[in-house]
Amino acid sequence: MHLTPTKRGDIYDAISPLKALHGSAKGLSVLITGAGRGIGRAQALAFAQAGATKITLVSLEEEELKEVKTSIASLAGLDDDRRVDIVKADITSEDQMAKAFDEAGSVDVLVNNAGRMNAEAKPHESACEDWWKTFEVNVKGTYTVSREAIRRALSTHHVVQTIINTSSVASGNTRLGFSSYGSSKSAINRFTEFLHFEYENQGIRVFAYHPGAIMTTLARDSMPTNTFATLTDKPELSAGYCLWLATQGDRVEFLRGRFSSATWDVDELLEMKQTILEKNLLWTRVVGQEQTV
């Protein structure tokens, strides 16, 4: 489903850290998983350009993280006191994520960007370990990192202002051969909803979103080659959209707990606020079954 009349594929003024969102992340401490390349890298650069005070980059690939840190440091106009920390860590490990948050300290914005996609295979053709590894990284990883962030926020009374979970249009589509990836993204939508309803009165804002159809390393290594021509969206689109969700406060409250897409034009999305609320759109539901909380 494409909700807004305009489909975006690249950064534009309304979500640009150099234009409408200039200075919007000032004072924020941000932790991004999967930050070594592609979408995570673009997100780190966007938050830096928008003035984030501290950025903690998490990935299994330390050399990639070093490159991102260097790229952030080379951006023109950044404050001298900016701090960028890199943490090599497995997002599915409780101990390693505890150490990552020890390094990060208080976190205002968490972007759960790290993910996995197994190669195309129907269940009977798949390797059990490979199928489950995708589910484990996408779901357990998102849970483990979010759990650590929320535990620390509640214990220190420092609110995690925003948690952004990376979902996908695959959460609502049925692409044959990708049962693990699609199911895991549906689970991320539902997990986001649970977090929203469980912590909405404690100052924790949670969103699930589709980053766009982007030619990432993950997509190149896992998607069928005949889909490559459709992967034309830019990582900067996702980065700007996450920055917008994290910094726009009351303007985006109606999207809390819900699924949305970086490809939807944000000005048009804001105009649809009443329709979304009145029709109770953008939840992951069993059609015909009333949702209760």
Residues 64-110: pLDDT tens digits?
999 999 999 988 555 555 689 999 999 999 999 999 999 999 999 99
In angstroms, rounded to a whole number, what is the distance separating the alpha carbons of residues 161 and 81? 22
- Please report where in the chains the tokens 């990376």 appear, as a residue: 166
Distance of CA 287 to the CA centre of its chain: 26
Q: Is it the case that residue 185 has pLDDT exceeding 70?
A: yes
Q: Average of pLDDT values for 190-214?
A: 96
Which one has a higher pLDDT value, 161 or 110?
110
* pLDDT value of position 204: 95
Other Cβ atoms less than 10 A from the Cβ of 151: the count is: 12
Percent with pLDDT over 70 in the chain? 96
Distance of CA 16 to the CA centre of its chain: 17
* pLDDT value of position 158: 66
Residues 6+ positions from 198 with CB-CB distance below 8 Å = none
Q: Average of pLDDT values for 18-42?
A: 97
Confidence of residue 250 (pLDDT cuts 50, 70, 90): very high
Other Cβ atoms less than 10 A from the Cβ of 228: the count is: 12
Annotated catalytic residue: which of 69, 143, 181, 209? 181
Q: Average of pLDDT values for 7-24?
A: 98
pLDDT tens, residue by residue, 256-286? 999 999 999 999 999 999 999 999 999 999 8
* pLDDT value of position 1: 56
Confidence of residue 156 (pLDDT cuts 50, 70, 90): confident
* pLDDT value of position 282: 97
* pLDDT value of position 81: 53
Q: How many CA atoms lie within 13 A of 155 on its CB side?
A: 9
Concerning whether 241 is annotated as a catalytic residue, the answer is no
Which one has a higher pLDDT value, 215 or 207?
207
CA of 180: how far to CAs of 62, 144, 183, in Å?
27, 19, 5
Set out the domains of the chain in order of their start, with CATH numbers.
13-278 (3.40.50.720)
Q: Average of pLDDT values for 52-61?
A: 97
Concerning whether 12 is annotated as a catalytic residue, the answer is no
Q: Which of 115-119, 126-130, 208-212 has the highest mean pLDDT?
A: 208-212
Region at 231 (left for phi over 0; alpha for psi -120 to 50; beta for the rest) = beta
Annotated catalytic residue: which of 54, 69, 185, 234? 185
Q: What's the whole-number average pLDDT of the chain?
A: 93
